[in-house]
């Protein structure tokens, strides 16, 4: 059990409540820290220094991960030389709800946060570097905007279906540059039919970067489809207006996504000078099938300090793909689901990586024959979803081995792995 003084902080948007407790869990001090008042921060430092003098031990500052609000306080205290621990709200909530009576306020929550850190015997994790923190933020925003882009693409498709359903027979990818350019300038079948032929062909040719003949053939097919669907088209003001709005949103989001991706690249390049291990680890992760640059950067940013994972199982739990436990008395459940208590974005990425590893290429060759065989064997005993979960767990173990050994991924069969281990060759494997 941690026997040092602990300062628990319940963080909110505009202010936070701090409670300092002794090794005997006695309340030593309370303070409301207003985030726009520098004197409150100075007072907090004074209290912490006084406690350090009284107990000859440096207090540990503990707070929950509350969106982005905790970052201001965490950065302030760490920059002033204090140890800061960020705990999962799931941990503190289990203790907050331990009482019979329902009593909740910020001051009590701050006390429970401090007690959670003590009672769970938590240890301080090394704070992520500023570069990794920035990388994590950029990667998360990339996926957030990508989700928004997908949403607007669906809305755009719905609008096009009402105005000209057979438009996709000419341009299957509605969100291609050529398709968007035509829809923006000629949104309805009437607009297409009344358009200047050479002007429309020119738009098709320039945006597609294809030959004039190809553009002309597309134009002729477009005219044909516009004539067919003209009697059924719902080309009212609402649909036309929303069509142009969705086009604008798709283009804007795509531009912003490209800017974020460029920033991620730039950040990784900058890290070569100050923190070369970041670029090194990204290259190592990219050696694993199904993991590209962005995926590798996201995994590294989300994991942060790899040293906190001493075993593969701990990394599996961090990904949130460890099985939940349901046991009481003599009853032991045999149908436990994933805990899903880890990083949501990592599970999303891991799912994609797993699918990439069990698929076959255009030449019918498997991307990862070892994992594909493993998946097929699991499917003989378990449902496909469960088998895929097993593949995801295997991939996490591979990630752990690559990060631990600092060696690129090497595809091997289980028999080859046993032989390598027997020969004491430290290389990661499937």
Residue range 46-73, pLDDT digits in tens = 999 999 999 999 999 998 877 677 888 8
Tell which of 104, 124, 144 closes a domain. 124
Cross-strand bridge partners of residue 20: 7, 29
307 and 410 share one domain: yes
> Is the model more confident about 326 or about 362?
362
Tell which of 253, 285, 302 closes a domain. 253
pLDDT at res. 100: 40
263 domain residue, yes or no: no
Looking at the 3D structure of the chain, how many domains does it have?
A: 3
89 and 165 share one domain: no
> If pLDDT is split at 50, 70 and 90, which confidence band does 122 have?
low
Q: Is the pLDDT of residue 178 over 70?
A: yes
Q: How far apart are CA 181 and CA 261, in angstroms?
A: 24
Contact 339, 323 (CB under 8 A): yes
Q: Is the pLDDT of residue 104 over 60?
A: no
> If pLDDT is split at 50, 70 and 90, which confidence band does 361 have?
confident
pLDDT at res. 119: 82
301 and 167 share one domain: no
| Pairing of β 27-34 and β 84-87 | unpaired
Report the mean per-residue pLDDT for the chain: 87
- Unique residue bearing structure tokens 């996926």: 143
Q: Which helix (H) or strand (E) holds 8?
A: strand 6-11
Ranking 107-121, 183-197, 235-249 by mean pLDDT, the lowest is 107-121
269 domain residue, yes or no: no
389 domain residue, yes or no: yes
Q: Is the pLDDT of residue 129 over 80?
A: no
331 domain residue, yes or no: no
321 and 225 share one domain: no
pLDDT at res. 39: 95
The range of the structural domain enclosing residue 357 comes to 275-326+341-422
pTM: 0.79
Q: Give the CATH number for residue 40.
A: 3.30.420.10
111 and 42 share one domain: yes
pLDDT at res. 328: 45
159 and 236 share one domain: yes
73 and 180 share one domain: no
284 and 235 share one domain: no
Q: How far apart are CA 230 and CA 242, in angstroms?
A: 19
381 and 279 share one domain: yes
Torsion of CA 46, 48, 52, 53, to 10 degrees: 20
Mean pLDDT of all residues in 189-206? 96
Ranking 207-211, 253-257, 325-329 by mean pLDDT, the lowest is 325-329
307 and 218 share one domain: no
10 and 83 share one domain: yes
Tell which of 201, 220, 253 closes a domain. 253
Mean pLDDT of all residues in 245-271? 96
For the record, the structure tokens of 239 come out as: 């649909």
> Is the model more confident about 236 or about 90?
236
> If pLDDT is split at 50, 70 and 90, which confidence band does 330 have?
very low
285 and 417 share one domain: yes
190 domain residue, yes or no: yes
334 domain residue, yes or no: no
Query: Residues 289, 294, 298, CA angle at the centre, nearest 5°?
Result: 100
pLDDT at res. 71: 83
Q: Which helix (H) or strand (E) holds 323?
A: none
Phi and psi torsions of 30, nearest 5°: -130, 145
Mean pLDDT of all residues in 19-28? 93
pLDDT single digits (tens) 391-427:
999 999 999 999 999 999 988 777 776 676 666 544 4
335 domain residue, yes or no: no
Q: How far apart are CA 34 and CA 55, in angstroms?
A: 27
130 domain residue, yes or no: no
């Amino acid at each position: 059990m941690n026997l040092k003084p602990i300062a628990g902080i319940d963080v909110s948007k505009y202010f936070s409540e701090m409670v300092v407790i002794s090794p005997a869990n006695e309340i030593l001090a309370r303070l409301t820290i207003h985030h726009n008042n520098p004197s409150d921060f100075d007072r907090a430092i004074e209290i912490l220094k006084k406690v350090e003098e009284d107990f000859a031990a440096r207090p540990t500052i503990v707070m929950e991960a509350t969106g982005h609000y905790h970052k201001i306080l965490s950065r302030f205290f760490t920059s002033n030389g204090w140890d800061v621990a960020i705990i999962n709200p799931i941990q503190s909530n289990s203790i907050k709800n331990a009482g019979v009576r329902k009593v909740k306020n910020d001051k009590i929550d701050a006390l429970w946060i401090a007690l959670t850190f003590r009672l769970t015997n938590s240890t301080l994790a090394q704070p992520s570097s500023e570069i990794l923190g920035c990388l994590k933020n950029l990667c998360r925003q990339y996926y957030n905007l990508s989700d928004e882009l997908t949403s607007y693409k669906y809305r755009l498709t719905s609008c096009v279906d009402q105005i000209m359903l057979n438009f996709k027979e000419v341009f299957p990818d509605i969100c291609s540059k050529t398709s968007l350019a035509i829809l923006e300038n000629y949104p309805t079948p009437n607009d297409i039919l009344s358009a200047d032929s050479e002007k429309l062909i020119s738009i098709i040719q320039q945006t597609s970067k294809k030959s004039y003949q190809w553009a002309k053939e597309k134009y002729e097919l477009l005219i044909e489809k516009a004539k067919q669907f003209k009697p059924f088209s719902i080309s009212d003001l609402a649909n036309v207006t929303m069509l142009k709005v969705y086009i604008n949103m798709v283009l804007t989001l795509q531009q912003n996504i490209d800017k974020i991706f460029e920033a991620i690249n730039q950040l990784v390049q900058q890290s070569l000078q100050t923190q070369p291990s970041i670029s090194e680890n990204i290259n190592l992760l990219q050696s694993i099938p199904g993991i590209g640059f962005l995926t590798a950067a996201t995994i590294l940013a989300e994991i942060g300090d790899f040293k906190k994972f001493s075993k593969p199982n701990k990394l599996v739990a961090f990904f949130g793909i460890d099985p939940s436990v349901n046991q009481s008395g003599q009853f032991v459940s045999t149908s436990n689901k994933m805990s899903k208590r880890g990083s949501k974005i990592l599970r999303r990425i891991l799912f994609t990586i797993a699918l990439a590893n069990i698929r076959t290429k255009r030449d019918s060759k498997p991307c990862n024959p070892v994992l594909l065989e493993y998946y097929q064997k699991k499917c003989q005993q378990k449902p496909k979803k469960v088998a895929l979960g097993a593949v995801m767990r295997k991939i996490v173990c591979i990630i752990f081995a690559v990060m631990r050994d600092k060696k690129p991924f090497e595809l091997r069969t289980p028999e080859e792995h046993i032989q390598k281990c027997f020969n004491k060759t430290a290389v990661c494997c499937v």
